[in-house]
Amino acid sequence: MKQARTLTDKQLKAVYAHCATRRHAARNRAIVAFSFMAGLRAKEIAALTIENVRDEDGKIREEFVLSKEQTKGRKARRVFVSQKLRRELETYFRDVRLRDCCSALFQSQKGKAFTANTMCQLFLNIYAECGIDGASSHSGRRSLLTNLATKGVGVRVLAEIAGHSSIAITQRYLDANDEQMRAAVELM
């Protein structure tokens, strides 16, 4: 099975710019941000609740735990929320008035929680509208892990971020790109 395409910074900027011009702009930007900045799967993004990301005082958490029911591997894991992702969430919460802390963080046009499948479809539609072939809901995960590896983050840390039980799985996510190869040959 062919792997999801990793996106360049230019392509990711185009995705964000595209989202800003469409209905549900803040929601879609936040969804894309969870994929590219936290490495969450579509199923995990769809399963997020408000209480996952907001504390009792309404402040965006710096980290939260995905329950085993929310993950693919049925194993709970911590998710770290970067400053950039927190800013996206703050924008989202300003734009959308969600009340019940137990409700889905992201809701479809029909006001219901996304399913894993509808979340995957949202990603496919966004990428198709941007003219990016080969991208899917996994593109954010692959791009995040590849970018972090390029910056020298170890595979063990990458596996924890991705929620993988084996570094062998994580290594399959990593793309070798021109930037990495140039840097590698310069080491000689």
For residue range 87-131, what is the model confidence (pLDDT) as tens digits? 999 999 998 876 677 789 999 988 889 999 999 999 999 999 999
> Against a cut of 0.85, is the pTM above it?
yes
Q: Determine how many CB atoms are found less than 10 A away from the CB of residue 168.
A: 10
Q: Which residues span the domain enclosing 95?
A: 1-188
Instruction: Tell me what pLDDT residue 97 has.
Output: 76
State the Cα–Cα distance between residues 20 and 71, nearest whole angstrom: 29
Q: In this structure, what CATH number is given to the domain that contains residue 6? A: 1.10.443.10
> Could you give the number of structural domains in the chain?
1
- Would you place residue 78 in the very low, low, confident or very high pLDDT band (cuts 50, 70, 90)? very high
- Per-residue tokens: 26: 């803040």
From start to end of the chain, where are the E strands? 63-66, 77-80
State the Cα–Cα distance between residues 45 and 56, nearest whole angstrom: 21
State the Cα–Cα distance between residues 117 and 43, nearest whole angstrom: 8
- One-letter amino acid identity for 114? F
Q: Which 3 state secondary structure label does DSSP give 97?
A: coil
pLDDT tens readout for residues 128-186: 999 999 999 999 999 999 999 988 899 999 999 998 888 888 888 887 777 778 877 88
- Would you place residue 1 in the very low, low, confident or very high pLDDT band (cuts 50, 70, 90)? low
State the Cα–Cα distance between residues 63 and 79, nearest whole angstrom: 5
